[in-house]
Amino acid sequence: MAPEKRAHILRAARELGYRPNVMARAVATRRSNVVGLILFNETNRHHPGVLLALSQAFSLIGVRVMLFLLEDVDEIGAVIDHILSYQLDGVIAAAPIPQEDLDHLAAAQVPLLFYNRPGEDGVASVSCDHYASGVLIARHVLASGARRIALIRSYAEAFVGNERMRGVEEELARNGANVVAEFRGDFDYDRGVAAVLDWAARGIDDYEAIIAANDMMAIGAKDALVHKLGKRVPQDVAVAGFDGVEASRWLSHSIASVDQPIEHMAKAAVDMMALRIENQHLPAERRLFPGRLQHGSSVAD
């Protein structure tokens, strides 16, 4: 249709108050042009760029995103039920999905893509290479001269945090560095503070650097070192994290980190989902993207 004719038709429709019935069109075409995005509340709070990047990338192909936020992994079953009732075209999940719910999605022929975590049972996935990111930040810390390292891990079930720390530990071991203190957190600022105070209470103060499983815990650790223990960062203790969140780049924090290429990951997720909506029998594919080192004043270059 010629652009002029299309503009004339749209103008006439607006004047008459006509609006196309999207739901009726979805029934007729068996396509809603909506995909579901499953995120943990914590992920959305600390990484709003994920939702923005995916929404913008899908909008370019005329698809909208319906967001489902989780407080706890136990809510997955109810969320999958909602997704199936809305008859969405596909699902992108940044959370683990139990096998029973995977089976429900497969039976309903709803394509699934895992975001920032590995595919399960042959499901496609797009992810930052978290292990390689761990190696990268460990090398950066080691290059500053630190050899006695304290780690603030994630909770035991967190795949992303575990992969990051696996990369960190193996690189430290390859270079003869020692892990002298450990603490588990849940990716938030308060647990970073708690780690440093816990070590201080137990008389552990001989670490030269702290590597935290994400930036928020790294920022908490840095603040505790400076404002609770009177330490200098990085002169007394270097601090590093992961994700390259906005706050990590503030001058008051300036955390050395590994940034995720969110825009590239979102583009890949959209391309892969679009293909799977058209052909649900495509083989599983896993795309890994390297993280980017973010220099910060918390680690001496």
Task: Give the pTM.
Answer: 0.85
Domain shared by 124 and 14, yes or no: yes
Residues of the domain holding 31:
3-129+262-291
Q: Which tokens belong to 149?
A: 């390292």
Task: Name the pLDDT band for 7 (thresholds 50, 70, 90).
Answer: low
Q: What is the CATH number of the domain that holds 154?
A: 3.40.50.2300
Task: Name the pLDDT band for 10 (thresholds 50, 70, 90).
Answer: low
Burial 250-263 (b: 16+ CB within 10 A, else e): eeebbbbbbbbbbe
Domain shared by 116 and 38, yes or no: yes
Sign of CA dihedral 96, 270, 130, 199: negative
Instruction: For residue range 66-100, list pLDDT tens digits in order.
Output: 999 888 888 989 999 989 998 899 999 988 888 89
Do 83 and 93 form a contact (C-beta atoms < 8 A)? no
Domain count, the chain: 2
Instruction: For residue range 257-274, list pLDDT tens digits in order.
Output: 999 999 999 999 999 999
Does a structural domain hold residue 121? yes
pLDDT average, residue stretch 210-214: 97
Burial 124-156 (b: 16+ CB within 10 A, else e): bbbbbbbbbbbbbbbbbbbebebeebbbbbbee
Domain shared by 39 and 151, yes or no: no
β-bridge mates for residue 293, sequence order:
258
What pLDDT sits at residue 199? Answer: 98
- One-letter identity of residue 155: Y
Domain shared by 106 and 188, yes or no: no
Q: Tell me which residue of 185, 193, 195 sits closest to 165, measured CA to CA.
A: 185
> Reduced to 3 states, what is the DSSP secondary structure of residue 180?
strand
Instruction: For residue range 159-198, list pLDDT tens digits in order.
Output: 899 999 999 999 999 999 999 999 999 899 999 999 999 9
Cα separation, 130 vs 122, in Å, equals: 20
